[in-house]
A = this chain, B = another copy of it.
Amino acid sequence: MSITYLDAIREAQARALEEDPNVFIYGQDVADFGGAFKATKGLAERFPGRVIDAPISEDAIVGSAVGAAIEGMRPIVEMQFADFSAVAFNQIVNQSATHYWRTGVPCPITIRLPSGGTEGSGPFHSQSVESLYAHYPGLIVMTPATVEDAYGMLLEAIRIEDPVIFCEHKLLYYHLKADALPRSVLPVGKARIARVGRHASVVACSAMVHEALRAARVLADEGWEIEVVDLRTAKPIDTDTILASVARTGRLLAVAESFPWGGITAEVVSRVVTEGFHLLDAPPQRLNSKDTPVPYHPNLWRAHRPTWQSIAASVRHLLGL
């Protein structure tokens, strides 16, 4: 059997629907159609009445998910693209994220965001918004990079008592495959050493983990052992695991697909230097997408985002090569 990242997301939802009668799915075209990316295919039939098509009203979709959660449900909201969460921004950061803190009543909703850039998708179907939501208190932000994590973390997301922003990368949907669903995964909040090394640490998440791994393989041919840390969650960030890695390597490159100002790379670099300054043998480096909207044409898009080539170049710089 071969299971894709997308299959894993579907299976996690199926299992959650099966295990907990309070779970339901709400979003545009998620019912009979099975969702724009087919992440809910077959679920409406298997779980009648529990997979519901929504009008094009992202604000109301999230608002009603909050209401349902207050009353004990565990809604899974699917946005058609992460970019469209911008019109639900207020309900996410001001309604869902503040609810538990303000009232003491938890708000267990999961918002699934098909994220990240793909060829020819352009400025409004390509965004990586994890940094946006991680900035706000009261949200957990997951950025799974593997089939196993897509499955295990989504199950956890649904079980968690807090709103979870679940950033699934569209580029991984079909191509990333595993042999089987995992029995268990690392606890939420723990980062993963995706590749062991000793010359430099590259910290990344989501699709960038695979670019980093590829860069590490290329550099391995040149004799450099690069450690790759998969953050898994953008919030909380597992600072301890990152620090431990930097303690081993003395060098840090933080990579993310989101825009350069602020965001994950700034947060990771800042934590490492404030808490582990003495561990560093060289100035830490950052690599992000460029400071423009995500371009539509593949020629531009490939130059806009970090790739294994630009990561390898940054690591070489970090190594003083």
Contact = CB atoms under 8 A, between A and B. Distances in A.
- With a 10 A CB-CB cut-off, give which of A102, A258, A274, A282 has the most chain B CB atoms: A274
Interface string A123-150: 1100000011011111000000000000
A284 B274 contact: yes
Contact of A259 (B90, B137, B270, B290): B137
A274 B286 contact: yes
Nearest to A97: B293
Integer count of this chain's copies in the complex: 2
Interface string A278-292: 101011111000111
B124 A94 contact: yes
Interface string A71-94: 000000000000100110110011
A262 B94 contact: no
A259 B134 CA distance: 10
Nearest to A254: B270
Interface residues of A, number: 47
Contacts of A261: 134-136, 235, 267
Interface in A236-293: 258-259, 261-267, 269-270, 273-275, 277-278, 280, 282-286, 290-293
9 contacts: A101-B292, A102-B123, A135-B258, A136-B261, A265-B270, A270-B284, A270-B286, A274-B284, A277-B282
Interface of A: 83, 86-87, 89-90, 93-94, 97-98, 101-102, 123-124, 131-132, 134-138, 235, 258-259, 261-267, 269-270, 273-275, 277-278, 280, 282-286, 290-293
